[in-house]
A = this chain, B = another copy of it.
Amino acid sequence: METPVFTGLSAFPLTPIAADGDIDEEAFARLVRRLAAAGVDSIGALGSTGSYAYLTLPERARAARIAVEHADGVPVVVGIGALRTRDVLAAAEDAQHAGAAGVLLAPVSYQPLTGDEVFGLYEDVTAHLSVPLVVYDNPRTTRFTFTDELYARVGRLPRVASVKIPGVPADPAAALARVARLREILPPHVTVGVSGDASGAAGLIAGCDAWYSVTAGTLPGPVLAITRAAQAGRAGRAQEESERLRPLWELFARHGSLRVIAAVAAELGLTPHDSLPRPLRGLSGDDHGQVADVLRRLRLDA
């Protein structure tokens, strides 16, 4: 099974929320068009950055349709995670009807989940899917940690096309070994995608097939530059540009990437000032000022 969708740069846009609590559909469509125009390889709508966990199923169905409609042919992967399997299945149906090229599923939890429960979730969902699925491993939000054994079990399920890993070790040799190990345990058609943007360049250099990027959802240009350099074997150039963006990654580590990228989008005039769903709150005061400052220093404020 060929899975060209799950390689290269996948950019995750915000789903901006208007002051009345509804999705700001115009701002969302604008963000999607911006990514298509920049030439990203795929668009990850309704990822964690797209606040999928906070939206109703009808809101998510509508956002998926908007994303596909404005993606100008760029494949759209849609997040379908939910606390309850029944809702995941409904979101998967809606994403497929919207024309998603694939779906992205994290084991969202309230009660901490067992490995068998997470396997059962992927088993139940893939049995009902007709598009490829990305296994989304994000312990920061799901509070579930995959073991390699579980990666291997889930990786063998039908429709599983990629695994979105939370990062690679900082040490290049350890990163190489980690990606090599993932290759060993996953079937050959399952791609490995790195996330955690600070780790993106290192992940691609270590052999990951894809970069699932928060930053690229709002600032596609610099992330594409890193990706294309890494893909062309210019590891030094990729590392250099990633290093240049370090002040941004540092803000991500301090405030969470979502709050920072929402502030970036607001600074660039792409979204209303605070576009996060309550109870989340956008950065304010000094924290927002630091984001604006970093944008200016890195010349990302154009």
| Contacting residues, chain B, for A83 (C-beta < 8 A) | 53-54
| Contacting residues, chain B, for A86 (C-beta < 8 A) | 21, 277-278
Any chain B CB within 8 A of the CB of A111? yes
| Contacting residues, chain B, for A36 (C-beta < 8 A) | none
A124 and B281 form a contact (CB under 8 A)? no
Copies in the complex: 2
| Contacting residues, chain B, for A53 (C-beta < 8 A) | 83, 110-111
- Which residues between 104 and 127 of chain A lie within 8 Å of chain B, taking CB atoms? 107-108, 110-114, 116-118, 120-121, 124
Known A-B contacts A54-B83, A54-B84, A84-B54; A111 and B278 likewise in contact (beta carbons under 8 Å): no
> How far apart are A232's CB and chain B's nearest CB, in angstroms?
35
A48 and B279 form a contact (CB under 8 A)? no
A interface residues, how many (CB within 8 angstroms):
32
Query: What's the Cα separation between A124 and B277 when bound, in Å?
Result: 13
Main SS class of interface, A = loop
Give the residue name and chain of the B residue nearest to A124 (CB): B278
Any chain B CB within 8 A of the CB of A143? yes
B120 and A281 form a contact (CB under 8 A)? yes
| Contacting residues, chain B, for A111 (C-beta < 8 A) | 48, 53, 141, 256, 258, 280
Known A-B contacts A53-B110, A54-B110, A111-B258; A85 and B279 likewise in contact (beta carbons under 8 Å): yes
Any chain B CB within 8 A of the CB of A140? yes
Known A-B contacts A53-B83, A111-B258; A279 and B120 likewise in contact (beta carbons under 8 Å): yes
Known A-B contacts A83-B54, A112-B256; A107 and B279 likewise in contact (beta carbons under 8 Å): yes
Query: What's the Cα separation between A110 and B85 when bound, in Å?
Result: 16
| Contacting residues, chain B, for A48 (C-beta < 8 A) | 110-111
A117 and B279 form a contact (CB under 8 A)? yes
Query: What's the Cα separation between A54 and B108 when bound, in Å?
Result: 11
Complex A-B: 19 CB contacts under 8 Å: A21-B86, A48-B110, A48-B111, A53-B83, A53-B111, A54-B83, A54-B110, A55-B84, A84-B277, A84-B278, A107-B279, A111-B141, A111-B256, A112-B256, A113-B279, A117-B280, A117-B281, A118-B279, A124-B278
